[in-house]
Homo-oligomer: A and B are copies of this chain.
Amino acid sequence: MSEKPLVISAPEPRSLDLIFSDDARTALHERYDIFECEAHEVATLSDHVLGEARYIIGQPPLDGAALAKLKSLRCIFNVESNLFLNMPYDEVFRRGIHVVTTGAVFAEPVAELGLGLALDLARSFTDADLLFREGKELWGGDGNGSARLLSGSEIGIIGFGDLGRALNRLLSGFRAKVRVFDPWQPASTLRDQGVEPANVETVLSQSDTVFVVASATSENQGFLGRESFASMRKGAAFILLSRAGVVDFEALMDAVRAGHIVAASDVFPEEPLALDHPVRTLPGFLRSAHRAGALDIAFKRMGDMVLEDMALLDQGLPPLKAKRAERETVSRMRSKPVTRN
């Protein structure tokens, strides 16, 4: 009979192979007994398995009866990272079971792509490379009509969770003035990070570059619309990295089409996108097919995060690496399920 704590593994749409490196996978099995199953099977596992399980990796649907049987449960590691309302969260929180998400692993890769896209919009190197391939390049200053620097510029960040912070860190060498709009963060927290708290109007109208890294919530669907883009500086750059739902995408395309702003986006109203969608050929718009976060190294960091938090929980300490779902906000998050890794 094993002395190891039991872990139920149902990580779809991820897999253990995706999120654990070979070394981490070995450590996982050395420290824990792993019971692997499909997410939909978890609620109907035997009383014994449910009763012994200390952790769940995944976000299986659970009803009250199943939860009641999960007597040893300390933490649900939601590696999908969006929260579905598929379990009785009130009771989960009442019992002090942690529900944690591992989406912070995507912050660094998304921030790097975001900075790259911002530099590209500032210097047009994608378009310039295309012209070069075709023998139509402009040399030196002749090709730099609209070129500008990020260094010393004014930058706006909308949303200051893990991703906003990662982005701000990458910007630290640019000596830029960074303003942040995040209604869920106290002003002093923002100031402590070296950024200036601001309302969304100021961020939009006073920035040379605006990064949108806000999570989708029940309150911010489409909150960046036609007037938002109109209020931006002529020639400014708008970079959308989190969720398409927070912007009025048609209005964004119109603002770019009119030449008022330039834009880049990693997310789209539908994914995959229709082959005839007009954004595909819109000049002044850089397109990335939801590739910002999904790097192998990011997925592997999920496994590391799970192992580090399990080690804390095993010692009777609260988890610190993954982000806890909160009673107050669990029902306000509105991201769509992940359908591909």
Residue positions of A touching B, CB distance < 8 A: 93-96, 108-109, 112-113, 115-117, 119-120, 122-123, 125-126, 128-130, 132-133, 135, 137-144, 147-151, 169-175, 183-189, 194, 271-272, 275, 280-281, 286-291, 294-297, 299, 304-305, 308-309, 311-312, 315-318, 320-321, 326-329, 340-341
Contacts and interface: CB of A to CB of B under 8 A. Distances in A.
A142 B108 contact: no
A186 B133 CA distance: 41
Contacts of A149: 108-109, 112, 295, 297
Contacts of A119: 112-113, 115-116, 119
A116 B147 CA distance: 13
Given A96-B93, A173-B169, A147 B286 contact: no
Given A169-B173, A186-B311, A113 B125 contact: yes
Contacts of A137: 272, 287, 289
29 contacts: A94-B96, A112-B122, A112-B150, A116-B119, A117-B125, A120-B126, A123-B291, A125-B291, A128-B288, A132-B280, A132-B287, A137-B287, A139-B272, A140-B289, A140-B291, A141-B299, A143-B289, A144-B294, A144-B295, A147-B295, A149-B295, A149-B297, A169-B173, A172-B172, A184-B320, A186-B311, A316-B328, A317-B328, A318-B329
A148 B295 contact: yes
A296 B144 contact: yes
Contacts of A109: 147, 149
B125 A275 contact: no
Contacts of A93: 96
A293 B275 CA distance: 38
Given A149-B112, A173-B169, A129 B311 contact: no
A108 B151 contact: yes
A123 B129 contact: no
Contacts of A296: 141, 144, 147
Nearest to A272: B139
A219 B232 CA distance: 50
A138 B169 CA distance: 29
B151 A112 contact: yes
Nearest to A95: B94
A341 B327 CA distance: 35
Contact of A280 (B133, B151, B172, B328): B133
B341 A141 contact: yes
A67 to B, nearest CB: 15
A133 B291 CA distance: 15
A136 to B, nearest CB: 10
